[in-house]
């Protein structure tokens, strides 16, 4: 059985981020306190921790002709789930860092991908592979 990963990130506005992960990304909320909230982040544990004065300084790295934000995190979804999420985010008028599209088209590792920020400027990437064997292909 594959184990879930755990990721904890800082946020300044706990309630704004709680609403984003719960309502926009539709992640089930778990345990919480006045300073943190656990989420079921597509089968993994994401914890947002309120941290006053936190700023997200980031760089980017060119990948397949796009400026990919670093650091970033996200999950690999099924092809259909990725398209469902992309459509919902477009309907919600999400401001994308990199619009939903296909990267490495016709090459090893071809994938659907999109990047956007949470309310605290943490960069997220969601991707999917039509051929899941391409996930770790060389």
Per-residue pLDDT tens for 21-60?
999 999 999 999 999 999 999 999 999 999 888 777 778 8
From CA 116, how far away is CA 109, in angstroms rounded? 21
Identify the CA nearest to 37 among candidates 56, 26, 53, 21.
Answer: 21
Q: Which tops the pLDDT comparison, 69 or 77? A: 77
Q: Which residues contact 95 (CB under 8 A, 6 or more apart)?
A: 116, 117
Q: Averaged over 103-107, what is the pLDDT?
A: 91
Is 0.85 surpassed by the pTM of this model?
yes
Q: Is the pLDDT of residue 1 over 60?
A: no
- What SS3 class is residue 83? helix
- Rounded CA separation 13/9 (Å): 12
In order of start, what are the domains of the chain with their CATH numbers?
6-50 (3.10.180.10), 59-134 (3.10.180.10)
Mean pLDDT of the residues in the chain: 92
CA separation for the pair 121, 57 (Å, rounded): 9
What is the structure's pLDDT at 64? 82
């Amino acid at each position: 059985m594959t184990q879930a990963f755990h990721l904890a990130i800082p946020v300044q506005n706990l309630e704004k981020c709680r609403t984003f992960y719960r309502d926009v990304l539709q992640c089930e909320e778990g345990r919480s306190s006045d300073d943190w909230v656990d989420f079921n982040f597509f089968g993994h544990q994401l914890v947002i921790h309120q941290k006053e004065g936190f700023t997200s300084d980031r760089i980017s790295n060119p990948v397949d002709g796009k400026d990919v934000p670093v650091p970033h995190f996200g999950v690999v979804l099924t092809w259909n789930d990725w398209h469902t999420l992309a459509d919902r985010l477009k309907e919600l008028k999400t401001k994308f860092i990199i619009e939903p599209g296909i990267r490495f088209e016709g090459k090893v590792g071809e994938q659907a991908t999109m990047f956007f920020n949470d309310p605290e400027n943490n960069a997220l990437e969601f991707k999917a592979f039509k051929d899941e064997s391409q996930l770790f292909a060389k």
